[in-house]
């Protein structure tokens, strides 16, 4: 089984960390390829960043189709370009926020999300509404750290995340915590031990869901709105998408 994990930002250290976290939980026989776009933002902390990064995500899916990839994971908690990516392939495509919400709801009736910045917390709230998990989530909390602090000031960032997770445990009436950033992929065990309750991180959650879908022979439906895009001309910088046809 070949899983392509796409880090939508362009920070190689984060891509490597995401790949390592995925390989730790992958089943024997699952091959993990962690990739990132050739261009785009170094971190994703706004709607603008998400919009720019979504094009890179789609290019990575098209590249994966040429390699007969079995499933894709979009490793940013905003799930940028998720539905558009599903249009390009019959393979499953999973966003890490979507995956984490699903698994958190299976181990607890209520959870809170701990993310990086308050403004990205609002994006997480939008996704909770969109995916139908808003009644399961008590609160979206922000440690108020820039995403790249997870790479450049790891110990300090971890301390702030743990403190926020403990507050969530003590104040929110929850049974589990969802970590709201792909850059937290390597922190699950440490935070769970310090907070004393289940902690769900989206990259590893998405790997296990992808393996399950592929094992069940379930792929993205090509009926309705997730059918392949209608081929048409594109101009300018997007000319390469002209007359797009599926690879398989």
pLDDT band at 244; cut points 50, 70, 90? confident
The pLDDT of residue 41 is 96
- Report the SS3 class of residue 101: helix
**In CATH, 2-95+205-241 is 3.40.50.12500:** yes
State yes or no: pLDDT of 248 exceeds 60: no
pLDDT digits (tens, 9 = 90+) for 102-119: 999 999 999 999 999 999
What is the mean predicted confidence (pLDDT) over 174-192? 94
Instruction: Find out whether 127 and 100 touch, Cβ atoms under 8 Å.
Output: no
Which token pair is 76? 């940013």
Rounded CA-CA distance 168/137 in Å is 11
Rounded CA-CA distance 44/56 in Å is 13
pLDDT band at 158; cut points 50, 70, 90? very high
Average pLDDT, the chain: 95
Within the chain, which residue ranges are assigned CATH 3.40.50.12500?
Answer: 2-95+205-241, 97-202
CATH class of 97-202: alpha beta
Instruction: Find out whether 33 and 4 touch, Cβ atoms under 8 Å.
Output: yes
Q: Is 238 left (phi over 0), alpha (psi -120 to 50) or beta?
A: alpha
pLDDT band at 124; cut points 50, 70, 90? very high
Predicted model pTM: 0.95
pLDDT digits (tens, 9 = 90+) for 2-55: 999 999 999 999 999 999 999 999 999 999 999 999 999 999 999 999 999 999
């Amino acid at each position: 089984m070949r899983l392509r994990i796409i880090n939508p930002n362009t920070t190689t250290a984060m891509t490597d960390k995401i790949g390592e976290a995925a390989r730790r939980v992958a089943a024997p026989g699952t091959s993990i390829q962690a990739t990132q776009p050739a261009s785009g933002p170094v971190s994703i902390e706004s709607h603008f960043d998400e919009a720019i990064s979504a094009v890179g995500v789609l290019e990575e899916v098209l590249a994966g189709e040429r390699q007969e990839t079995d499933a894709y994971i979009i490793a940013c908690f905003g799930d940028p370009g998720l539905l558009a990516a599903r249009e390009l392939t019959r393979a499953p495509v999973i966003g890490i926020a979507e995956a984490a919400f699903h698994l958190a709801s299976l181990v607890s009736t209520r959870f809170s999300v701990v993310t990086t910045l308050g403004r990205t917390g609002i994006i997480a709230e939008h996704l909770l509404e969109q995916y139908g998990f808003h009644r399961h989530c008590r609160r979206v909390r922000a440690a108020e750290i820039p995403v790249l602090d997870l790479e450049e000031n790891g110990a300090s960032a971890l301390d702030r995340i743990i403190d926020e997770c403990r507050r969530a445990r003590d104040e929110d009436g929850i049974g589990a915590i969802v970590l709201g950033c792909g850059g937290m992929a390597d922190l699950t065990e440490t935070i769970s031990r310090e907070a004393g309750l289940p902690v769900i991180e989206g990259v590893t959650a998405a790997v296990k869901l992808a393996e399950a879908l592929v094992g069940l022979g379930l792929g993205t439906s090509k009926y309705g709105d997730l059918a392949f895009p209608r081929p048409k001309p594109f101009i300018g910088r997007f000319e390469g998408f002209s007359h797009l046809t599926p690879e398989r």
